[in-house]
């Protein structure tokens, strides 16, 4: 009988540290899962904002291309090389402020901070035959105004019809100062 009591005295203090160790391991694992879930949620929200901004810029680009084509009096042919690229799309004043040249083809855009904008610039040929093209720059917004997507399309006007060349603008051409 004395042997059982002495064994119990030596092993009675080991259970608490083991339980505390297992509990702390579970807590650390749960915290890591929670952080991973938060990071995934943020990434999903950001991607959703970028997709929304892309669709608004794409819709503005299509509408402004239609506006540019409807403004032509008759089909012309480009026989010469295009001149230097228009530069107004790189200026902040073209999109923001009282003297902005950019148009807003839609009054609002669902769940976006701002409606999309586009700028239509004529792009003449280097020859004097009167032909040319249009450079159309569109910018769309996501839920936050900082989420912007810029898209461009070059429309060449030919006898066979307009020929569109796409190119995506990777970064904003100008930096906005946050208030």
Q: List pLDDT tens digits, range 125-140.
A: 655 555 578 899 999 9
Strands (E), the chain: 117-124, 132-141, 148-158, 161-169
Bridge partners (DSSP) listed for residue 151: 138, 168
Residues near 96 by beta carbon (within 8 Å), at least 6 away in sequence: 176
Token pair for 120: 């239509």
Bridge partners (DSSP) listed for residue 117: 139
Residues near 130 by beta carbon (within 8 Å), at least 6 away in sequence: 76
Could you identify the residue written with the tokens 């042919």?
Answer: 77
pLDDT tens track for 72-99: 765 555 555 667 788 899 999 999 988 8
Contact (Cβ atoms closer than 8 angstroms) between residue 126 and residue 81: yes
Distance CA 12, CA 71 (A): 91
Quote the pLDDT of residue 137: 94
Is the confidence at residue 8, as pLDDT, over 60?
Answer: no
Token pair for 27: 């807590």
Does pTM top 0.75 for this prediction? no
């Amino acid at each position: 009988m004395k042997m059982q009591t002495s064994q119990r005295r030596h092993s009675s203090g080991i259970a608490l540290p083991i339980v505390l160790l297992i509990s702390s391991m579970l807590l650390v694992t749960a915290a890591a899962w929670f952080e991973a879930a938060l990071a995934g949620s943020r990434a999903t929200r950001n991607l959703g904002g970028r997709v929304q901004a892309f669709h608004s810029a794409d819709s503005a680009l299509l509408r402004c291309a239609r506006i540019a084509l409807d403004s032509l009096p008759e089909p012309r042919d480009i026989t010469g090389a295009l001149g230097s690229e228009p530069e107004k799309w790189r200026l902040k004043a073209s999109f923001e402020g009282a003297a902005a040249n950019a148009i807003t083809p839609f009054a609002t855009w669902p769940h976006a901070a701002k409606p999309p904008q586009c700028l239509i610039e004529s792009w003449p040929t280097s020859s004097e035959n009167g032909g040319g093209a249009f450079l159309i720059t569109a910018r769309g917004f996501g839920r936050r105004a900082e989420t912007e997507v810029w898209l461009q399309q070059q429309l060449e006007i030919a006898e066979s019809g307009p020929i569109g060349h796409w190119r995506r603008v990777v970064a904003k051409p100008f930096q906005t100062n946050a208030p």
